[in-house]
Homo-oligomer: A and B are copies of this chain.
Amino acid sequence: MDNLASKEFEPLKLENQLCFTIYAASRLMTRHYQPYLDELGITYPQYLVFLVLWEKDGVGVNEIGCKLYLNTNTLTPLLKRMEQLSFIKRIKCCEDERKVLIFLTDKGKDLKLKAKNIPEEMAKTLNCNLGKAMCLKNELDQLIHKMLK
């Protein structure tokens, strides 16, 4: 890290941008998942919605949004596509007619089995040690926490 010691650290150089590294890592990660998700017939953001629903379904749109930091203007069309693919059902809540509850269909539930090995595959292909990955995740979580304030 000569850049740190050197007096000519250039803040506007691309290679010094943490933000760009995160941005690039995110897009490359999505690409890296794609072949595996293609097999399941889903996209990466849809995969994230599944991760939420596999833990607990019958939740409102906004509850999914809170967990993924996504607004309804992104989620509504995304969820409609997932419904079109019959992975989920969108059902109006009886107690509160404003709410739309999201339920997994059998097809959606079954997908969990097919997805089971994806994290392992990722770790393998990225030659990624679990401890190190969780450490990196922790650093990023701290950054996220600062940005949410």
Partner of A31, one of B4, B29, B131, B147: B147
Identical copies in the complex: 2
Q: In the bound complex, do residue A68 and residue B24 qualify as a contact, i.e. CB atoms below 8 Å apart?
A: yes
Q: List 18 additional contacts besides A23-B44, A25-B143; criterion CB under 8 Å.
A: A1-B138, A12-B112, A16-B119, A18-B133, A19-B122, A20-B51, A20-B68, A21-B141, A22-B26, A22-B140, A23-B29, A24-B144, A25-B144, A26-B26, A31-B147, A32-B147, A136-B139, A136-B143
| A interface residue numbers (CB < 8 A to B) | 1, 3-4, 9, 11-14, 16-33, 44, 48, 51-52, 54-55, 67-69, 112, 115-116, 118-120, 122, 126-128, 130-131, 133-134, 136-141, 143-144, 146-148
